[in-house]
C-alpha cells in the first residue's frame, strides 16, 4: 500500500512537474527513445521500483518495443537482441546505479565503450537519464508507490 501520495501534496506536485520537464529535455535529445526506455527499465529493475518497471515497460511496449527485448533486458549480457551501443548504455546504467554497492563507479572500460557509440549530446542525455531514473526510483520506493496502474501518457499534463 502506498504510504504517501506525492501528487496530492502541493510541493510534491511541483517537484514532479520539474522532474517531468527534465525528462522532456532528455527525451528531446538525440539519444534514441527506445534506448532511453531500456535504460530506465533496467535501472528500475535493479532498484526494485515496481511503479517505474510498470511505467517503462508499458511506455516501451506502446512505442513498439518487442516483448522479447523487454523480457531480456534484465539479462542483457546473456541475450543476443541488443546492439553494442545498447550494451554500452546498459553497462553504464548498471554501474552508475550500483555506486553504493561497493562498486567503483563507472569503469574506464564502460566509459570508453559509451564514448565509442555516443556523441557529447547523447552522453549528456544518458548520464542525466541514469541519474534521474535513480532519483525517481528512490522517491517511489520510499513512498511504496505500487506498480500496475500506469497507463502510457497519464503524466503528459505535468509538462504543460
Residue 55 clears pLDDT 70, i.e. is over it? yes
DSSP structure string for 92-131: HHHHHH-TTTT--SS-HHHHHHHHHH--HHHHHHHHHHHH
Exposed/middle/buried for residue 72 (C-beta within 10 Å: 0-12, 13-18, 19+): middle
CATH number of 32-150: 1.20.1290.10
Instruction: Report the pLDDT averaged over residues 36-64.
Output: 97
Q: How many residues does the chain have?
A: 160
Tell if the pTM clears 0.75, that is, is over it. Answer: yes
Residue 160 clears pLDDT 80, i.e. is over it? no
Q: pLDDT per residue over 20-39, tens digit each?
A: 899 999 999 999 999 999 99
What is the structure's pLDDT at 156?
74
Mean pLDDT taken over the chain: 94
> 47: closest CA among 116, 144, 112, 138?
138
Residue 159 clears pLDDT 70, i.e. is over it? no
Q: pLDDT per residue over 95-111, tens digit each?
A: 999 998 867 789 999 99
Alpha-carbon distance of 47 to 138, in angstroms, equals 8
**Structural domain boundaries of the chain?**
32-150
Exposed/middle/buried for residue 26 (C-beta within 10 Å: 0-12, 13-18, 19+): buried
Share of the chain above pLDDT 70, in %: 97
| Residue 158 pLDDT level (bands cut at 50, 70, 90) | low
Alpha-carbon distance of 92 to 98, in angstroms, equals 10
Alpha-carbon distance of 60 to 71, in angstroms, equals 11
Cα–Cα distances in Å, from 76 out to 61, 89, 118? 17, 11, 19
Residue 115 clears pLDDT 90, i.e. is over it? yes
Amino acid at each position: 500500500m502506498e504510504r504517501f501520495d506525492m501528487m496530492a501534496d502541493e510541493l510534491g506536485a511541483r517537484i514532479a512537474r520539474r522532474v517531468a520537464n527534465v525528462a522532456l529535455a532528455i527525451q528531446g535529445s538525440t539519444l534514441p527513445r527506445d534506448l532511453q526506455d531500456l535504460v530506465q527499465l533496467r535501472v528500475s529493475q535493479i532498484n526494485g521500483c515496481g511503479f517505474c518497471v510498470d511505467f517503462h515497460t508499458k511506455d516501451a511496449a506502446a512505442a513498439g518495443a518487442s516483448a522479447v527485448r523487454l523480457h531480456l533486458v534484465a539479462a542483457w549480457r546473456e541475450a543476443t537482441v541488443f546492439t553494442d551501443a545498447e550494451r554500452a548504455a546498459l553497462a553504464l546504467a548498471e554501474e552508475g546505479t550500483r555506486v553504493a554497492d561497493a562498486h567503483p563507479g563507472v569503469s574506464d572500460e564502460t566509459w570508453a565503450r559509451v564514448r565509442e557509440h555516443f556523441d557529447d549530446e547523447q552522453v549528456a542525455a544518458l548520464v542525466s537519464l541514469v541519474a534521474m531514473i535513480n532519483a525517481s526510483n528512490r522517491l517511489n520506493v520510499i513512498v511504496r508507490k505500487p506498480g500496475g496502474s500506469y497507463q502510457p501518457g497519464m503524466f503528459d499534463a505535468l509538462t504543460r
